[in-house]
Amino acid sequence: MTGSNQIMLEIRQVSKNFGGLNAVKEVNLSINKGEIFALLGGSGCGKTTLLRMLAGFESPSAGAIFIDGEDISQIPPHKRPVNMMFQSYALFPHMTVAQNVAFGLKQEKNRLAAPEIAKKVSKLLHLVRMQDFASRKPNQLSGGQRQRVALARSLAKKPKVLLLDEPMGALDKKLRSQMQLEVVDIIEAVGVTCVMVTHDQEEAMTMANRISVMHEGEIMQVGTPSEIYEFPNSRHTAEFIGSVNIFDAMVTQLEPDYTRLSCTDLTSPIQVEAGINAPIGASLGIAVRPEKITMTRVKPEQADNWLMGVVEDIAYLGGHSVYYVKLESGKRVMTIGTNNDRHEQKVTWQDKVYLYWSITSAVVLYQ
């Protein structure tokens, strides 16, 4: 997907202030040609403002945006080689599906003859499998159908960058997962570079090649979905993407191939692979994903990376269950157990259990 590493979109030191409020703070991003890139964050993190700056609806207070090497920061929206699929789709209610899709083509300076436009529109409607609805009005369509039309409309002008604002925001959960894959298929078939904004980490991980996690106007981390999940670089990212247990720990032993830390919540020390970039005595966060923690009834043999507690809560989720284990210190640790082992005696409420994880499972969080 990121076949050539040619940069299509570059955001350089872009900031945006709204009357003293810094919505976006000195953001730098490079997005490759053909890539699907997600801006992920909670509400008010600046992701939508950044997207609107790419579309031209807001202009950056500082910094510049380059598309295909050209500085577009001062170009008005209607002259940018960028098209957007709006959160609520913003289909023109007074036009048919075909007219909606044709709208962009009719605005071009060297606009095509009517039959050419009709041909293109029909091709686009085939692409999104809406060819049978060409003469319908938007209010006669279902949510998923509207989204396909909106997608076709935003692809009609072959934009250099396609912007998706919360693409699945208006759909119900079941339709969402189906449309996520479908939209990705279409985008990849067209080969357009795509920047999407979402608050849904699952959506970002399903659809995007790379994700940038935003928080309070800043970019916390950029990486592939698995990089962001496996190696979060901050507490915020670790907590935002999936579930995580974070232990506050202090460095006690530094070795070239491992580091040992002590945590007041645990009886055993924590050991992490490889040396870390902090002196002895430094306070750090240690993140362990619930599914990397194993639960047993017998005390594990390893000296480090284990704890003991009482099962306080069990959330049964069908294929697996989430266990909340309370430590002596009062801290709650989350772990996941699959529900496929029928032979073993099931762990239940108030059972005393041991949890342990391997040396490679923990991630050090500096901030």
Partner 1 sequence: MSLGRRSVIGVPYIWLTLFFLVPFVIVFKISFSEMAYAIPPYTDLFTWADEQLTLSLNLGNYGYLFTDDLYIRAYLSSIRIAAIATVICLFVAYPIAYVIARAEPATRNALLMLVILPSWTSFLIRIYAWVGILKNNGLINNFLMWLGIIDQPIAMLNTEFAVYVGIVYAYLPFMVLPLYTNLMKLDNSLLEAAADLGAGPWKVFMTVTLPLSKAGMIAGSMLVFIPAVGEFIIPDMLGGAETLMIGKVLWQEFFNNRDWPVASAVAIVMLLLLLLPITLFHRYQARELEN
Spatial separation of the C-alpha atoms in residues 23 and 320, rounded to whole Å = 40
**Is 294 strand, coil or helix?**
strand
Closest CB to partner 1 among residues 137, 326: 137
x-or-dash string of contact with partner 1, 288-307, rule CB under 8 A: --------------------
Closest CB to partner 1 among residues 183, 249: 183
* Virtual torsion, Cα 146, 147, 150, 154, nearest 10 deg: -170
Q: Tokens 């929206």 — which residue?
A: 77
Closest CB to partner 1 among residues 106, 297: 106
Residues 6+ apart with CB under 8 A from 250: 261, 262, 263, 281, 282, 283, 284
Candidate ranges 90-98, 141-149, 257-265, 267-275; the one touching partner 1 (CB under 8 A): 90-98
Q: Does 90 bind partner 1 (CB under 8 A)?
A: yes
Tally of helices (H runs) and strands (E runs) in the chain: 8, 20
Q: Please report, as residue ranges, which positions from 29 to 88 form the binding site for partner 1 (by CB under 8 A).
A: 55-57, 76-79, 82-84, 86-88
Q: Please report, as residue ranges, which positions from 156 to 175 form the binding site for partner 1 (by CB under 8 A).
A: 156-157
# residues contacting partner 1 (CB under 8 A): 28
Question: For residues 263 and 247, is the Cβ–Cβ distance under 8 A?
Answer: yes
Q: How many residues does the chain have?
A: 367
Closest CB to partner 1 among residues 84, 130: 84
Spatial separation of the C-alpha atoms in residues 300 and 223, rounded to whole Å = 35
φ, ψ dihedrals at 230, nearest 5°: -80, -35
Q: Does 18 bind partner 1 (CB under 8 A)?
A: no
φ, ψ dihedrals at 177, nearest 5°: -65, -30
Spatial separation of the C-alpha atoms in residues 122 and 105, rounded to whole Å = 13
Spatial separation of the C-alpha atoms in residues 249 and 109, rounded to whole Å = 63
Q: Which of 42, 59, 92, 267 binds partner 1 (CB under 8 A)?
A: 92
Closest approach, Cβ 4 to partner 1, in A, equals: 27
Q: Does 184 bind partner 1 (CB under 8 A)?
A: no
Spatial separation of the C-alpha atoms in residues 302 and 264, rounded to whole Å = 19
Q: Which of 3, 13, 59, 108 binds partner 1 (CB under 8 A)?
A: 108
Q: Which of 41, 60, 104, 169 binds partner 1 (CB under 8 A)?
A: 104
Residue 36: count other Cβ atoms within 10 Å of its Cβ.
Answer: 24
Residues 6+ apart with CB under 8 A from 328: 267, 308, 309
Closest CB to partner 1 among residues 25, 199: 199
Closest CB to partner 1 among residues 86, 229: 86
Q: Please report, as residue ranges, which positions from 122 to 141 form the binding site for partner 1 (by CB under 8 A).
A: 137, 139
Closest approach, Cβ 151 to partner 1, in A, equals: 13
Q: Does 153 bind partner 1 (CB under 8 A)?
A: yes
Alpha-carbon distances, residue 17 vs 26, 46, 115 (angstroms):
11, 10, 46
Q: Which of 93, 115, 318, 319 binds partner 1 (CB under 8 A)?
A: 93
Q: Which positions touch partner 1 (CB under 8 A)?
A: 55-57, 76-79, 82-84, 86-88, 90-94, 103-104, 107-108, 137, 139, 153-154, 156-157
